[in-house]
Structure 1
Amino acid sequence: MYEERPSPLVPGAVLWRADAPGTVVLPDGCMDLLWIDGRLLVAGPDTGPHPAGEVPGTGFAGIRFAPGAAPALLGVPARELLDRRVELAALWPGAQVRRLAEQVGAYGDPRTGLERLARARTAETGPADPLAARVAAGLRAGHSVAAVAADVGLGARQLHRRSLDAFGYGPRMLGRVLRLQRALALARQGLAAAEVAHRAGYADQAHYTREVRALAGTTPGAYAAGSAGSVGANRDTPQPSGSRTTA
């Protein structure tokens, strides 16, 4: 069982929980703070599919931050966590992390504890760089990297460097990831592949197919078949039982 809901306390964040690891985690430009059987971990940004089950556990909860929002909270550039799942104790003092894990676990729903932890940490570190939200919004809307760079007033190299710190990868890769998420959301609505490709902004259906293979490790048809009839399917996975708990 997997369920998620928007966080009322952390802007742009999503709270989720799962009884078991899902099938696969797909790139979404986000980072998560995880609580797994009393341990705190961080899921970094992904560049490809991650199979579930690499982090064992029987109870999973997480807070998924909007693209670019987690590095300020964690105190670590996103590029250092690219395609990684790491113990929070590898980033923060161990004694502090043990205390925080106990506090999170004391809540009936660990998601509440993660949300309170994130809100308290943000009060200490300050909000994320607003540039990240502007870059993500422009790319999510389908604007070109050049147009986004001009909009935020940065040169190509500066935008790339700032994006590595905020998202883990450059703006071109982030644009591909966000376009993939647009496409998969349309596919879950039952649209034909050609229509998905057109609406999501791909050059053609073949381009869409290549990108799904490259970033999701599957085909549009297989994804649509796995999502068909599911209720509340996680946006990150081709199966309704998936989550960002492991990879």
Structure 2
Amino acid sequence: MHAHTGFETRHDARDVLRTHRHDGAYAALVIDGSHLEASADGPIDCVPGTLVLHPRWHAHGNRFGRLGAKVVNLDLGGDLAGDALRVLRVHDAKEALAVFTRAPHRLSELIDACHAAPTPTLQPWQHAFLRELERGECDIASLANAAGVSLAHASRTFVASHGMPPQLLRRELRCRRALRLLAGGLPLAEIAATSGFADQAHLTRTLRAATGTPPSRLRQQIKSVQDAAGATALQ
């Protein structure tokens, strides 16, 4: 159950929020206006009725439309937090707003009643580029050359669609993979190697810079969230 009701944020026309990271998981419901949210998940067209469930430590930027936007936010906990971004459309915006502002304990019901939002549209060459960014070791210039685009074009395109240039996007994708692996019992050195980091020290520096917390403590926090979700499910 959520202890607090939703809180509203308003954004002016054409406002831009540079890529930033939220420590906690939260839900965002677009009430009025619109904005484009750009992250490692790709571009999200956030129109009225869009419900975005952000996992903990999610990094994204926002570009607001000509009318600005009004958004209601609600902290997430337990099994609703999840470890991946979810983008949904509500069936009744007024009912959804009432849940956020007066009945947050009904959020799971609201989520179950939603339908999935359209998936982000990317240029065809971006899909293979993204796979190689996360898994491969090729330098960015070589990836651009293989995709048939210039390095400058690749950088501009990913800044527009994902809010960050390829090199930063590679780091973000690898951080996400490491965070997912921390939920298991693999040694940190193995997580570092599997996630594409040079060594455990490189993993530690990068995750500390991204989240403010070293991997060992992040693992404890992730386990606490999992235990809380399990306890909730048994009630």
TM normalised by structure 2 equals 0.56
Partners of 1:87 and 1:51 in 2: CA distance: 26
CA apart distance, 1:192: 1.5
Partners of 1:229 and 1:38 in 2: CA distance: 26
| 1:164 counterpart = 2:156 | no
Aligned residues of 1:163 and 1:169 also touching (Cα < 8 A)? yes
Which residue type is aligned with residue 228 of structure 1? K
Q: Deviations over 1:173-210 (max 9, x none)?
A: 01000000111111111212111111111111111111
Q: 2:115 is paired with a residue of what secondary structure?
A: helix
- Tell me the equivalent position of 2:141: 146
| 1:178 counterpart = 2:170 | no
Q: 1:167 to 1:85 in 2, by over 3 A?
A: closer
Choose the corresponding residue for 1:90, options 27, 46, 68. Answer: 68
Aligned pairs, how many? 180
CA apart distance, 1:232: 8.2
RMSD: 4.7
Partners of 1:87 and 1:40 in 2: CA distance: 15
Q: Deviations over 1:83-137 (max 9, x none)?
A: 4597996159xxxxxx973375589844367636x34xx8xxx944444433322
**Bigger relative contact order, structure 1 or 2 (CA pairs below 8 A, ≥6 apart):** 1
Which residue type is aligned with residue 90 of structure 1? G
Q: 1:87 to 1:110 in 2, by over 3 A?
A: farther
- Tell me the equivalent position of 2:22: 50
After TM superposition, the structure 1 = structure 2 runs for residues 219-238 of structure 1, keeping only pairs within 5 Å, are 219-228=214-223, 230-231=225-226
Choose the corresponding residue for 1:102, options 79, 94, 109. Answer: 94
Partners of 1:110 and 1:87 in 2: CA distance: 26
Q: Which runs of 5+ in 2 are unaligned?
A: 31-36, 48-58, 71-90, 100-105
Partners of 2:123 and 2:42 in 1: CA distance: 8
Which residue type is aligned with residue 50 of structure 1? H
Q: 1:84 to 1:68 in 2, by over 3 A?
A: closer
Choose the corresponding residue for 2:44, options 61, 66, 70. Answer: 70
CA apart distance, 1:51: 3.9
Q: Deviations over 1:154-187 (max 9, x none)?
A: 1111100001100001011010000001111111
**Structure with higher strand content:** 2
Q: 1:112 to 1:134 in 2, by over 3 A?
A: farther
| 1:208 counterpart = 2:198 | no
Greater Rg by CA: 2
Q: Which runs of 5+ in 1 are unaligned?
A: 2-18, 22-35, 75-80, 93-98, 235-240, 242-247
Q: 1:199 to 1:46 in 2, by over 3 A?
A: farther
